[in-house]
Amino acid sequence: MSTETKIERSEELAKRAEALIEKAEFGERRLSGLVFQVAFLIAIAMTCFQLYTAYFGVLTSTLQRSVHLAFAIVLCFLFYPHSKRSKRKSLPFYDLILTALAGAAVIYVALFYEQLVQRIGAPTLLDLVMGVTAIVLILEATRRAVGLPLVIVTSIFILYGLLGPYVPGILAHRGYSFRRIVDHLYLTSEGIFGIPLWVSSTFVFAFVLFGAIFERTGAGEFLMRLAMSVVGHTRGGPAKVAVIASAFMGTISGSGVANTATIGTLTIPLMKKVGFKPEVAGGIDTAAGGNGQIMPPVMGAAAFVMAEFLGIPYLHVCIAAALPAVIDQLALLGAVHLLATKHGFMGMPRSQLPKFFPTLVSGLHFLVPVFVLLHALIVQRLTPLTSAAMAIGTAGFIFILRSALISAGWIRPETDGAPSTSWEPIKESLRKLIDAMFSAARSMAAIGVTCACAGMVVGMVSLTGAGLNMTNIIVELSYGNVYLAMILTMIACLILGMGVPTTPNYVIMATIMAPALIALKPDTPLIAAHLFVFYFGILADGTPPVCIAAYAAAGIAGADPFKTGIESFKLDMRTFLLPYMFITAPQMLLIGLAPGLFGVLEAVWIFVTSSLGMYALAAGMQGFLLDDDTWYERIILIAVAVSLVKPGLVSDTLGLAGFALVWFLQKKRAAMKPAAV
């Protein structure tokens, strides 16, 4: 393949990935002309509002949420069409009407806030009309943005509130009037304007904007090249690059679809080049992109919601989630390595890869905002909003400063072509920053309305006591057995979370399912139960057939989306073991460790044995360690995984012995193969 063909192919994949990301995260409508200019100004106004409140202090909670949701729902109706058959390049008249109604119904709460506070519990007819309008249009906006699953779940809970007396068994309740439900969802802080929307209107937007700036400045390409320089030459190198680069990107953005498409543009063609089938290459990229959802500090924005729900410092969530996230990333690397070794896939020639230190030095300026973010969060213990605001300011300042230095001729531009004027680099940087502001607001359109929708689920659960009823059902079906309860909770999370984005996914799971685990095992740390349902909610979002990231990866790989989703799910199976350890062995979350040096050593030992256990699980799932597994070796390896991942001296000893047994059996068998030929 000629150099020109390679460049054309790369540009084609980049355009395809950009289109896939835009479709999944920003909406399918391509506005133009005056309508686009108005939508653009609304998006920039939303970002300016969020930046102002981040730097100068947020408004009263309900006012902050109302203004944020008003921007989000207006942008949602502007950029997300009614159906696939709707016009893509123009705005139908009915969408103009819906946009105006949705914005008015939501901003009504901010405009008449003082009067509404005084008549909570006794809404007027206008309040009810506005409330019903807001509820219906939030459901419609959610359907457009993320599909039917979340809308169906929310609608069921609203109907459950109305039809409580007619529901059989322990799910029955006294029922609530239409007026009471609208009042609760619209005029209190336990429905639409609840915790999920509060987090969306503060922490989440700040991190989404930071991720957008980080991406627009070229940091994604830098992380890719850095990962290439480290593992690109190893067996299945491009697949390992996808895992490492997605982990880095996930740490900042937490968007599974964006991770998959952005990283996949470069890694999927390289994976195919070294021998991976298109479906397998797409599956690896999908699994790697999804893994970014569990990586602190963002965790798909769920970390902020979790801290609010549990009433604990955000840093505690990050610390608890860190060890299992790193172990899971290493397990995926192990699975990819075993897959490449089994099929004899090699890495890229070193001559075609960038050098590590020159690459690192060339992109050090990308790491400064990340360092500022982590220093503010971990060392200074500042709030996530303040930390993100500092990182945003640092990223913008460094980007503009570097452009000014390029203009002055003090730094060579990364591109070969020289700018036409000395001001061109600065103009280009400003354009990219404005584009990042626009993209962040468009991303938040879907996130904002889905958080409002999830808030309605939380509101109905608090009103009807559905969480307690679900807990009673799990307790009855499990006969009080915690392991059976965990299995039932896992199944419920996989069903309820399918097709639901990360943040509302976690909100629903934490509200409905987490209390059941705590009821059956009262000594369970709250964060352990919440991470349990969070992990399985994430796995649900990546489960075929509703696996959006797989469609993005399949589009880049030229593969069948369903088969790509299946390959991704097969790799994700390794993650199913970890959440069970959160409940049975919370030491995995660095909870209950011995004080001082012994605690550090215990944490290190847990990390080593759990990583080895996950590698054994990958070997059992892939059917290969040093040689093809026999049926009994697979059973031993899976048992080894359970023993090593669960902390304990006896279990670790048995696990290490089992792993050593399979290792030596396969080592001996592999050594005999050449002699037999």
Identify the residue whose tokens are 């509060």: 198
Residue 239 sits in the same domain as residue 363: yes
Residue 227 sits in the same domain as residue 188: no
Lowest mean pLDDT segment, chosen from 279-283, 389-393, 502-506 = 502-506
- Chain CA centroid to CA 566, Å: 19
Residue 252 sits in the same domain as residue 105: no
Instruction: In whole angstroms, give the CA distance from residue 8 to residue 13.
Output: 9
Instruction: In whole angstroms, give the CA distance from residue 468 to residue 495.
Output: 19
- Domain stop point among 408, 442, 471: 408
End-to-end CA distance of the chain: 37
Q: What's the domain range around 136?
A: 16-197
Q: Is residue 366 part of a domain?
A: yes
Mean pLDDT of the chain: 85
Q: What is the pTM of this model?
A: 0.84
Q: Is residue 212 part of a domain?
A: no
Domains in the chain, number: 3
- Chain CA centroid to CA 375, Å: 23
pLDDT category of residue 542 using cuts at 50, 70 and 90: low
Task: Compute φ and ψ for 241, nearest 5 degrees.
Answer: -60, -40
What pLDDT is attached to residue 566?
87
Q: Is residue 493 part of a domain?
A: no
Across 230-254, average pLDDT: 82
Question: Cβ(343)–Cβ(275) under 8 Å?
Answer: yes
Residue 189 sits in the same domain as residue 301: no
Give exposure, 420-443, as e/b (b: 16+ Cβ within 10 Å). eeeeebbeebeebbeebbbbbbbb
What pLDDT is attached to residue 569?
85
Question: Cβ(451)–Cβ(504) under 8 Å?
Answer: yes
pLDDT digits over 596-613, tens only? Answer: 788 888 889 999 999 999
pLDDT digits over 655-673, tens only? Answer: 999 999 999 999 988 887 7
Instruction: In whole angstroms, give the CA distance from residue 122 to residue 214.
Output: 47
- Domain stop point among 166, 197, 228: 197
Cα dihedral value 212, 26, 427, 53, nearest 10: -60
Residue 135 sits in the same domain as residue 192: yes
Residue 343 sits in the same domain as residue 404: yes
Across 75-98, average pLDDT: 84
Closest listed residue to residue 585, CA positions, set 532, 648, 627: 648
Q: Is residue 421 part of a domain?
A: no
Instruction: In whole angstroms, give the CA distance from residue 143 to residue 157.
Output: 16
Residue 137 sits in the same domain as residue 184: yes
Instruction: In whole angstroms, give the CA distance from residue 541 to residue 562.
Output: 14
Residue 84 sits in the same domain as residue 174: yes
Residue 247 sits in the same domain as residue 320: yes
DSSP string across 144-183: HHH-HHHHHHHHHHHHHHHSGGGS-GGG------HHHHHH
pLDDT digits over 169-191, tens only? Answer: 777 888 899 999 999 999 988 89
Residue 166 sits in the same domain as residue 259: no
Question: Cβ(212)–Cβ(436) under 8 Å?
Answer: yes
What pLDDT is attached to residue 19?
61
Residue 218 predicted with pLDDT over 60: yes
What pLDDT is attached to residue 648?
83
Q: Is residue 618 part of a domain?
A: yes
pLDDT category of residue 677 using cuts at 50, 70 and 90: very low
Residue 521 predicted with pLDDT over 90: no
Residue 182 sits in the same domain as residue 230: no
Tokens representing 81 are 């069409």
Q: Is residue 296 part of a domain?
A: yes
Residue 141 predicted with pLDDT over 90: yes
CB within 8 A of 76, min separation 6: which ones? 27, 102, 141, 144, 145, 445, 446, 448, 449
Alpha-carbon distances, residue 514 vs 377, 467, 583 (angstroms): 27, 9, 11
- Domain stop point among 392, 408, 424: 408
Instruction: In whole angstroms, give the CA distance from residue 244 to residue 248.
Output: 6
What pLDDT is attached to residue 274?
86
CB within 8 A of 169, min separation 6: which ones? none
Residue 635 predicted with pLDDT over 50: yes
Q: Is 8 helix (H, G, I), strand (E, B) or coil?
A: helix
| Size (the chain), residues | 677
What pLDDT is attached to residue 197?
92
Residue 327 sits in the same domain as residue 375: yes
Q: Is 448 helix (H, G, I), strand (E, B) or coil?
A: helix
Q: Is residue 230 part of a domain?
A: yes
**pLDDT higher for 256 or 580?**
580
Task: Compute φ and ψ for 188, nearest 5 degrees.
Answer: -115, 175
Q: Is residue 355 part of a domain?
A: yes
One-letter amino acid identity for 69?
L
